[in-house]
Chains A and B, each alone.
Chain A
Amino acid sequence: MAERPQDLQVIDAFTAALREVDASAAISRDLAAFYAAHGLEGATLTAMVERGASRLKMYRAMVQGRLRRVIREFIPRTAARLGRPRYDADFAAFFAEAGSHSVVLRDVPVELVTWAAPRWRADPEIPDYLVDLARHELVAAEVRNAPGGREPPTGEALALGRPLAFDGTTRLQRYDHAVHRLPQEEDDRSEPAAEASALLVYRDRESYRVRYIELTPRASEVLARLLAGATVVAALQEGAAAAGEALDDDFLVGMTHLFADLSERGVILGAAVG
């Protein structure tokens, strides 16, 4: 194998100092050994060792500190409930093992939660509801910044045999815990009810505010299918069956009211065209 140029090797060693979980301790222990372990040698190694460890550590603190702050801004209550030591440790592990692969800074919190969710679910020290809370905090930014929205009404009346068109910011969120009812305060530690919950989340067409509508089981089953592109009749039939309800007058009246409310809010734009 051809020898790697030292200017590429030094970029990789520097990057390792920023990312690796144990880099800070290794640098403090023996800077030359750290660099040598990452392939530096000869004059490059000598030059880097002569420059010392303090500014290398400063870079690590700046890069990691900035990302930790950004993530905490997006999931403040999740981070607070994790506690500082665990939050910092999880961030460090995420940054070392997975890291960010989006040039968009606001994507980093999503990347962290995607990486952490299976680990938190498997960890008995982490509350069962924490992934739901993180997802609930993230959906606010997702909807606030979602492309689309404010699409014009289709001008087509709702029809049983056709799918519906929705405002482009609409999302259906399902949780195993009622995290949406938790207080907003970061120092609150009350626990949400272990209650399956569904929210329709969208961006208000006038104020740009993120709106949440708590859905009944029947409404969530029907809307999940409509958002996936099902026709109204299929969504009603399959939704009623999934909710364990009869497709009777009560069900249909309830859905009629829901569709009217969502049309009034500009969430349903009419029957889909094409």
Chain B
Amino acid sequence: MLPPPPTGIGLGLRSAFMAEIDAGAADGLVAFLELSPENYLWRGGAAVDQLGRICERFPLIGHGVAMNLGGVDPLDPRFFGELRRFLDRHPTPWYSDHLCFCNRGGELHDLLPLPFTTRTATRTAARIREAQERLERPMLVENVSYYLALGESEHDEPDFIVEVIERADCGLLLDVNNAYVNAQNHGFDPLEWLARIPLERVRQLHVAGHEPWDDATLVDTHGAAVRDEVYDLMAWVVERIGPVPVLLERDNNIPPLADLLAEVKALDAVYQGALARWRASEGQEVAGG
């Protein structure tokens, strides 16, 4: 039986502050923790024992980086077997990975862009269905930051995402920072982009900080505080879809945990405001009706 999804602001669990979380520093301050199982597979020691204690106290969501959902090479059965065993031990309401490829004749250990074609969407959707069947859990896919479109695009990104998730019949993990970064890098309005995303498919949000690579390019580094523009996009979505888990990601230049918890609190204030607007509008009617 899968646990119910949490709602509110959560934090990505990272080794830099895992011992503090284990010691109770975030108790009552985050709605959930999100973890990347790849960090714990085929592993023992302090981190795994800490995780065992932490997952007794926090709702968990599993979010991976290695599934290679948009890839060409067959899904890795050894990885899926170990991942399934991990998720059996650490149940999460769904499992998510990225709308990208990360392996081609070898692991590239990064989230790499896909051609926005029907052929790629069809192949990716079939692989998402296969992943759901192998894990026996619902899958979400996350929109990524892409810095270079590959090939001759038949679709733009929103149409490509819609085609994939409808063919796969899966949920969407909507990363609003990625939407913002892509909008800046490729010259479109992020709100117009969001308006084309089927929000009824959105099960979770990600927010993060980004940094400039050069004068023309922002990179989704997860290495800075979340920008106001990204807060606004998060709120825009929440006031339309209601309560969801919203995850603060931080992977680089990680500040003290207290600073991250302060950022969680600031995000929660914006989230609660958006939720109040949702309740005041159709959300209340939907929830009550």
The secondary-structure label for the interface of chain B is loop
Asked whether, in the complex, the Cβ of B150 is within 8 Å of the Cβ of A145, the reply is no
A18 at the interface (CB under 8 A from B): yes
Chain B residue numbers with a CB within 8 Å of A18 are 108, 112
Asked whether, in the complex, the Cβ of A11 is within 8 Å of the Cβ of B115, the reply is yes
B184 at the interface (CB under 8 A from A): no
Chain A residue numbers with a CB within 8 Å of B112 are 14-15, 18, 59, 63
CB distance from A9 to the nearest CB of B (A): 8
Asked whether, in the complex, the Cβ of B152 is within 8 Å of the Cβ of A144, the reply is no
Asked whether, in the complex, the Cβ of A146 is within 8 Å of the Cβ of B45, the reply is yes
CB distance from B169 to the nearest CB of A (A): 22
Q: Which residue of A lies closest to B49 (CB)?
A: A208
Chain B residue numbers with a CB within 8 Å of A11 are 72, 101, 104, 114-115, 150
* Stretch in B2-10, B36-44, B264-272, B273-281 with 4+ CB within 8 Å of A: B36-44
Within 1-44 of A, Cβ neighbours of B (below 8 Å) are at 5-8, 10-12, 14-15, 18-19, 43-44
* Stretch in A75-83, A102-110, A232-240, A261-269 with 4+ CB within 8 Å of B: A102-110
B193 at the interface (CB under 8 A from A): no
Pick from B38, B45, B119, B150: contact of A104, CB under 8 Å = B38
CB distance from B164 to the nearest CB of A (A): 14
Interface size, B (range) = 35 or more
Pick from B108, B148, B149: contact of A63, CB under 8 Å = B108
Asked whether, in the complex, the Cβ of A102 is within 8 Å of the Cβ of B107, the reply is yes
Asked whether, in the complex, the Cβ of A44 is within 8 Å of the Cβ of B44, the reply is no
Asked whether, in the complex, the Cβ of B152 is within 8 Å of the Cβ of A208, the reply is no
Chain A residue numbers with a CB within 8 Å of B41 are 103-104
Give A44 to B120 CA distance when docked, in angstroms: 14
Asked whether, in the complex, the Cβ of B109 is within 8 Å of the Cβ of A147, the reply is no
B99 at the interface (CB under 8 A from A): no
Q: Mark B72-89, 1 if CB is under 8 A from A, else 0.
A: 100010010000000000
CB distance from B149 to the nearest CB of A (A): 7
Chain A residue numbers with a CB within 8 Å of B153 are 47
Chain A-chain B contacts (Cβ-Cβ < 8 Å), number: 115
Chain A residue numbers with a CB within 8 Å of B117 are 7
Within 83-111 of A, Cβ neighbours of B (below 8 Å) are at 98-105, 108
Given A11-B72, A58-B217, A146-B44, residue A101 in contact with residue B107 (CB < 8 A):
yes
CB distance from A5 to the nearest CB of B (A): 6
Given A58-B147, A62-B219, residue A169 in contact with residue B44 (CB < 8 A):
yes
Asked whether, in the complex, the Cβ of A108 is within 8 Å of the Cβ of B101, the reply is no
Asked whether, in the complex, the Cβ of A208 is within 8 Å of the Cβ of B104, the reply is no
Give A67 to B153 CA distance when docked, in angstroms: 30
Interface size, A (range) = 35 or more
Give A18 to B120 CA distance when docked, in angstroms: 20
Pick from A98, A101, A147: contact of B44, CB under 8 Å = A147
CB distance from A115 to the nearest CB of B (A): 12
Chain B residue numbers with a CB within 8 Å of A10 are 115, 150-151
Chain B residue numbers with a CB within 8 Å of A51 are 148-149
Q: Which residue of B lies closest to A18 (CB)?
A: B108
Chain A residue numbers with a CB within 8 Å of B289 are none
B179 at the interface (CB under 8 A from A): no
Show the binding face of B for A, using Cβ within 8 Å. 38-39, 41-47, 49, 66, 72, 76, 79, 101, 103-110, 112-115, 117, 119-120, 147-153, 213-214, 216-217, 219
- Given A19-B106, A67-B109, 6 further pairs, Cβ under 8 A: A10-B115, A12-B104, A59-B110, A100-B109, A146-B44, A208-B45
Show the binding face of A for B, using Cβ within 8 Å. 5-8, 10-12, 14-15, 18-19, 43-44, 46-48, 51, 54-56, 58-59, 62-63, 66-67, 98-105, 108, 144-149, 168-169, 203, 208
Q: List 21 A-B contacts (CB under 8 A).
A: A6-B151, A7-B119, A10-B115, A15-B104, A18-B108, A19-B108, A46-B152, A54-B216, A55-B217, A59-B148, A63-B112, A66-B109, A67-B109, A100-B109, A101-B107, A104-B41, A144-B46, A145-B45, A147-B43, A169-B45, A208-B49
9 tightest A-B contacts by CB? A99-B106, A103-B66, A10-B151, A208-B46, A7-B115, A147-B44, A100-B107, A55-B148, A15-B104
